[in-house]
Structure 1
Amino acid sequence: MKRGISSLVSYSSSEEEADEEKFQAKVVKKRKLPTLSASIALPAPVDDPSLHQGRIRTTPHIEGQFAAHVYVSVPLKKTSPLHTLIKNVVIDTKEMVPTLQEFTTSNPECRELHVSLSRPIYLRAHQREEVKRTVRDIANNHAPFEISFASFSELINDEKTRSFLTLEVGAGHHELKNISTDLSPILNTFRQKGYYDNPRFHASIGWALLDQPSSSPTVSETHSPSTSSLNEYPTIPRFPDTLIPTLVGRYHGILSSQKVSVFPVARISVKIGKDVSSWNLVGT
């Protein structure tokens, strides 16, 4: 008797493997990923004023965002007349404002003054290189020039948390304003504030913390440090009204001397996070 053809269908080994892979995929999908260990997860940054001489972060930290600013620098050797003048000015100011903090440098033999060309700006990681290219192009379009410091002034930051003792720029103001104006397009593109409409270019040499609304004196204002609480970092309402006139009276003659306060500006810099990039001014 002749056997009939079997009605059973046999599958190839490749089809069996495909079915097995589909089954395994379903199992994998159902598995939950393990919770990330707390020892591996990065902690959120904590603003600790004690690490920054009482300064408080005025812009919240955002992961992947970098604080930046554009500036020109004036290096001062310890033996330079302006270095000596600033040292004396700080000593005199501390007699009237004991809470004054001096800007310091890692190199005791050289003080570096910064003249800002932008407000603090905040960049995403992918925007950093474009800003660097813009600053480099600006450097290529501007020639070196000279600046001088003409007087002393008190300037308060936008957040009204600190008051700054500054040297205001005299000669060179026009060139600095042109460079600052050239930064406006890139700042507008990134929705950042441009520099001030009527800028007062300056180099800060000292600062003091200001009273905040909750701790400001209400009956009799004094320029002595606030003692309303045992604050490790005392504050003041503002510098005494007599401070700037006193400094001008004592030091204006020396400051206005060409020997003391005229300096070449040959480079422009941008600091993004902790990274500093600089380019020579080469325009004609």
Structure 2
Amino acid sequence: MAGLNLIQEYSSDTDDEAKNSNEENQTGFNVAKPSRLPLPESILSLKGVEHHTDVVDDPLKHQGRIRSFKHERGNWASLVYLDYDPSEEILQWMKNTVGEILKTGNLFEEFHVSLTRTLILKFHWIDSFVEAVKNIARNYPGFVMELNGIKVYCNDDKTRTFLGITVQSTNNSLGSLTGTLNKLLDEYQLPPFYEDALFHVSIWWCVGDHKQILETLLPKLTSNFHEFLTNHPEHHFVQVDSLKCKIGNKLYTFNLSEFKF
């Protein structure tokens, strides 16, 4: 309140000064002017910042990708997923075989299996949401994930096309885990995961809807991938022992409970 009072006092003195100046002009007499009260350094040093500035999406800054939803202050893009760390042999297969057959597009630099859609969390939801995901992980045993085949996907807006390695899990652990997360999402009135979801690791993408064209190349890609797994059976299965939750630029890792077959 002291700062506000100082501002009001400064404003009042300025008004008086203007009033006295008018009186001098009207009467011809000099009226003593009060000394101006200077603004304190603490106020003079304040710098304003832009408030509620719109963020303009520029696809050129991220390889032509188009934001699926408008950026709004207080909204945080979020995702719950499983990490997939491919072996050097699989990475080489991706670079050589996929790159050779498709000729264009982009390989992902990081790989994962999504368990939710990309969600929009309000800032005041974050703490409780993170705690809930942590509790889910704590009560879920680790499991084995099996790599199966190759499939083409397109996002909801038809702005990007993906190539992915399909996966399945022992005892339907992926479906069960997603079902539990869906119940949590319902508490926040957030959309559930896709009803007909096919769990997969996205490995390649391109801008636009090219699903129909890429599906003609699937037989060759699938045959090549199965041949790779036959020659490298040790890469056919992946152990899953943690759950990831990414909110904005924050990443949370929660260990699943003791691994079980």
- 2:243 aligns to what? 268
Task: List structure 1 runs of 4+ shifted beyond 6 angstroms.
Answer: none
2:154–2:211 CA contact under 8 A, matched in 1? no
Counterpart of 2:141 (choices 135, 139, 143) is 143
Q: What pairs with 1:66-215 in structure 2 (closer than 5 Å)?
A: 66-78=76-88, 81-95=89-103, 98=104, 100-104=105-109, 112-172=110-170, 174-210=172-208
Alignment partners' CA distance in 1, 2:133 and 2:159: 29
TM-score normalised over the length of structure 1 = 0.70
Aligned to 1:252: 226
Q: Tell me the distance in 1 between the aligned counterparts of 2:47 and 2:66.
A: 27
Counterpart residue number, 2:49: 40
> What is the SS of the residue equivalent to 1:240?
helix
Say how many residue pairs are matched: 218
What's the offset of the Cα at 1:172?
4.1
Residue 49 of structure 1: aligned partner: 59
Percentage of identical aligned residues: 29
Q: Which moved more, 1:236-245 or 1:62-71?
A: 236-245
Shift of 1:157: 0.8
Greater share of helix: 2
Which blocks of at least 5 consecutive residues in structure 2 are unaligned? Answer: 16-45
SS at 1:259 equivalent:
helix
Relative to 1, partners in 2 of residues 1:249 and 1:47: Cα closer, same or farther, differing over 3 Å? same
Q: 1:242 is matched with which residue?
A: 216
Q: CA deviation at 1:40?
A: 2.6
1:135 Cα deviation after fit: 1.0
Deviation at 1:199, TM superposition (A): 1.4
Deviations 1:115-137 (A, max 9, x none): 00000100011111111111111
TM-score (norm 2): 0.76
Contact 2:143/2:169, CA 8 A, preserved across alignment: no
AA matched with 1:70:
V
Q: Secondary structure in 1 aligned to 2:54?
A: coil
Distance 1:278 1:38 in 2: 38
Q: Which amino acid aligns with 1:184?
A: N
- 1:249 shift after superposition: 2.0
Query: Which one-letter code corresponds to 2:185 in the other structure?
Result: L
Structure 2 contact 54–72 (Cα < 8 Å) conserved: no
Which amino acid is 1:85 matched to?
A: W
Amino acid at match of 1:270: C
